[in-house]
Structure formats: structure tokens, C-alpha cells
Structure 1
Amino acid sequence: MIKILVIDDYKVKRDKIINSITTYHDILPENITQATCVKDGRRELYNQHFDLMILDLVLPIEEGGECDAINCIKFLKEISINPSINPPIHIVGISGYKDKVSEFNTDFTEKLWNLINYDESSAEWEDKLNSLIFHLLKTRQQFLQASFSTQSGAIIQQLEHNQLPNTILGFNWSEVANGLANIVEKSLIIPSKFSNGSKAKNVNLTNIKISSEYDFQNLIHLILRPWIPSVEAENIAIIFDGNTKNADFSIKGNSLIIEAKYIDTTGKKNDVLKTLDGLANFYSKNANVKALLFLILINKKVEIDKHKIETEFSKNTSPSITVKVIYNELE
């Protein structure tokens, strides 16, 4: 969410600007600060950081003082050189004096700012202002995404460089789904590689068996809880056209849905594969669902092309779909 500072001594114009912004953009009134003179605007820039400053060209230095465009131009120069001021990312000047707009336009454009002519009888000023705000919002979002991607990559590289454990599941729901799929797969393989040893009197790994879909779901729940304590089992994910669907597991208000299937016969394989597309289509009706994870456990006696299924059914759509086929090492 961007923060905006509006500096204008004329309340009617100030209200129109703010009303236009809140009407056409997802910006709350509390994210818009108002000031009526240079002195008040300077104080706000001392104390806060703003993404956008909308500045009346003809302003008084103090409230009730004489209005002059020179006051605004001097203020703009001060913003550039005063180390105590937090400069806004972008500045838009606005004025109802056409002659002043023409005279001082260069003072704005040479710094890649904008100066708009305000006319109460026309919506042209409003269109120009909102177009600039749309561009600012889009550019800021792209910058934040690029910056976050760079920082997250650097964090992971630093962990690897120092040989520290990486417990980051991902930075979006699709990545989290893949991360959880890999955790479940490794958790099912690792027990088979342990030896009880002579000192392990109370742990018998031969008792860890999965012979049904219910066993598989219980084990998944145990595996995921340390990573995501809020994971819910059998939560109602969607009610559509009178039909209710309970997800095997849901995370963060159904943002991620996990379905676990166990295939121990060829007939069950065919049934499960037929349901994958149907479930994906059903869950897509819920706007909260950002990602689907299908975990399919396979009895080693069942012939199946693991990589073909994962490739064909996993999709980078909305919601994203991740299919992980895992061979049952705990039969």
C-alpha cells in the first residue's frame, strides 16, 4: 500500500483529490496525509516516508500566509538538499492557474515529475492524476517483487555458503506445495534406511507400516505439523452447487489444499488418475485456493510411470497444481 501526502491550502480541491484517489484506487483514506502549507508539509516529510506527494503549485509558507508559486519551487529545491527531509518517490504538482503551470512546468519535468492543470469544470486533471497513480502502483509492485526475489535468493545462498540448514518452504504457495511434497517424500524414505541397533530398545521401525490411504493421511499429518502447526485435517474447502468437499488437509484458510491418495491396485490407479482433473476443477471454484498438492502413494507392485503422471498433471495455473508420486517404502 502506498502512502500519499497532499499539500493544498484549498480544502475543496484537497477533498476532490482525495475522493478521486480513494474512488479509483485501492488506497485507504488513512494512508493519505493532508497539509495546508509548506511548513506543515515539511514537518510531515521530516517524520514520514511517502511514495507520492501531490503539491499545490501556489502555496503559503505558513497557514494563512500569502500564496505564491515561488514558495512551492523553493520547497522543491529544499527537498533535494535538506538531509532531514525524506524525499517522496514521486511528486505531482497541481494548480488552477494556467499561466503558472506554463511558467513553472520545467521545474517539475526536468526532474521527471509532473505538473497538472486543475480545472473544476473538467475531469481531465483527474484522469491524468489517476493515470500517474496507476503507473506508480504498478511500478512499485514490480520493484518490490524484484527486490524480494533478489533478497530471498541471497538469503538461501548465504545459508548454503555457511552450510546452515535451509528450513524455508518457499516464497509463494506453489513453492510451498513443492517444498512440502519433498518433505513428505523424504520422510517416507528415511525410516527404511535406519537400523534399530542394539541400544534402541523402545523403538521398532519395523512397526511403521502404511497399508491404507488412512495410514498415509495420518502419517502426512504427523510429518507436516512441525513445519506448519496450523494445518487442518478434513476441513470444508468448498461448497459448490450444493456439494460440499472436505479437503484431506488445508493450510491458511484453504490457500493450500492437500489431497492424499494411496494406490495399491491397477484398478485404484485408474480411479485416482480420473479424479485428479475433477478435483482440480472443483477446488478452482474457491477463490481462496492458491495451490493444490496431490500426494499419491504407490504400492511398488503397481506399474506406473511416475514422471509422466507428475509432468502431465502438474500445472502452473491458478490455482497451481503440484502432483508428487511416491513409492511406498513402508509396506
Structure 2
Amino acid sequence: MWPDVGISSFQCPTKIIFGLGAHERLADLIGERAIERLLVLIDPALLNSVIHRKVAGVLAQNDVASAVFSATDSNANDSTVQAAFKSSREHGANGLLAIGGGGTIEVAKEVGRLMPSSPLIAIPTTDGARSAVTGACAIAILDPLSVGAISAQDAAYAGIDAFVHAFEAYLSKRATVFSDAVNLHAMTLIASSIRAFVADRNNVWAALDMLCASSMAAMSFAVTGRGNVNCMATSVSVLFPVPHGLASAVCLPHAAAFNVPANPERYARIAAILGIDGSSRREAQDGAQAIHGLRALCSDLGIPPRLRDIGVTEDRLDELAQRSFAADCNDFNPRYTSEQDFRALFGSAF
């Protein structure tokens, strides 16, 4: 059935190039856009990594003068953006290339807004590639060779976070037939590949599935918004030093169970994606099997089951509930959630 969302739209302005060895397309992209001087923004940990060396080789072979800016961190704060912009001006750059995680790509996007005539190309190096396909990126290159250095733990956190993006967008009150198509396939790719990728980050086909799926999941944010899991995880990460993906994974089964009554038919589809046998139709429809599948996925990836296991303290649960309610996800989340509901959810997860 069509949700009552009125007139909607769906677009992803970013050009996406994906596949094993996709970084080699840099030569064509640089030529097409007449880039002669390039500022390369890169995570400090990736300096002289395999992907950095390969990209540097492509740039050298095409006579592109490049300068490297590596003073990035997880936050695109004003001082970092200004420092990167200064480097671009000093180098005379007419193009930007970001190699790294969300923090580096976000810094590059902010610099790109100060250089509107300079194209921005992003090569994400985690399996949570949403920054590369949202906002100001003109081109995203999804190459499985770029994610081999990520740790198993970070791969699990980023991968589950990407699944949550697709999961919540699919359940959103503002979902459309276009966002459904993208998010269903994103969940299918992640469910079938995340275990293999976490076990071996050099499994290039599982890595490519994860990169593509996380990008797909990010495409519909502007249309669908996100729900309770994101509200809860964001609140946790603000108050405690917990990665957003880990917080999302711990909160996921609890928030998902709360939302079942709003759209049980969609949970049956999710259960099938998670590989749960729907022979008991009643259980599949009431969401029990989908929740079981979510818990099993998190467990297989070594995600701790409780908030207390990741450093959250009971004395902050009220504040977490207040923050989550104030974030106001009720325009998107399929079931209305009061501050008291959030308190109960945090209590359940604790």
C-alpha cells in the first residue's frame, strides 16, 4: 500500500563508480574535468597505505600535481576545514580527492562548498560509505581494495550501522516505492555479506557488497528520514565514548521490537532477508522472527547485547530518553514514541 506522504521525490546526485580496481578510473575522471592540481585529503592512518600508493601512482602517471592534507579527524570542525581550505589555496588546487572514513569525507565536502567550481571525488575506506553519496560529493569511487585495512571490529560497527540505515528507511512513514527498492536490496546485500567481510576484510566481493549496500542505504535519507535506533544511538554517543555504529547495534533489537505493531508485514519481509524460515506465518508477521534474526546477526558479529556492556551507566538513562525524544524522529519512525517510551527502551537495552 502507498503511504500517505503526498508528492515525494528520490534522487542521488552523486555519480558512483564501483568495482574491483575502480580507483583506476581516476585517470579518466581527472581528464574529463581538466583537473591539473589536486588536494588529497586523507586519514592520517592511511598515509602510505595500499590504496594511497595506488592512487598516488595513478596521479603521477597522469601528471597531476597533488598535495596531501592529513590533519583530519572524526569531526569536520571549523579549524580543520579552514586548514584544509588554506592548503588547497596554497597548492592552487582545482579539484579535491578524499580518501578515508566519514570524518575525512565530511571535511572535504565542507572545503568543496568553499570551492564550488572544483569537483570533489571520494574514495571511502570503510564499509559505512554514506558520507560519499550524501551532500556535495560529485563522484564516489567504491573500490573493495580501499577497505582491506579496516579492523574486524570497525567493519562490524560500520556494517551494522549501514544495515540500520536501510532498515529504518524501509520502515519509515515516508518510505516510497523507490526507497523501498534501494533499501530492500541494501539489506539483502549486507545480510548475505557482512559476516564474510568481518571475518576477512580482504574478501573483495563481500567488501564490494558492503560498500555498495551502505551507499544504497544512504541514498534515501532525504526522503525517508531515520527512526528510533538512530535517535537512541546518537544520544548514547553524545553522552558516552561509544562509536555510533556500536550504539546502533546494541539498540537495534529493542527499538525494532517496539516498532513491530506499526507495520508487521514489513517485518516478515525483513525476516526473510535475514534468512529466517517463514514457515510459521504468524511468528513472521508479528515480527518475532525478524527480531530473532537481528539478534543473531549482532551476536555473530560479536556485538555486546547490553548498553551496560559498552560503558553506558544507569544514572544517565533518563537523560538519554530526554535527548532521544527531543531529536524528534516521530515524523519518520513508524510508531509514535514518547519520552516515557524511550525511557522504557533504554531500560530494556540496559
Instruction: Please report the TM-score for the alignment, with normalisation by the length of structure 2.
Output: 0.22
| Bigger helix share | 2
- The structure with the greater share of residues assigned to strand is 1
Please say which structure displays the higher CA radius of gyration.
1
With a CA cutoff of 8 Å and minimum separation of 6, indicate the structure with the bigger relative contact order. Answer: 2
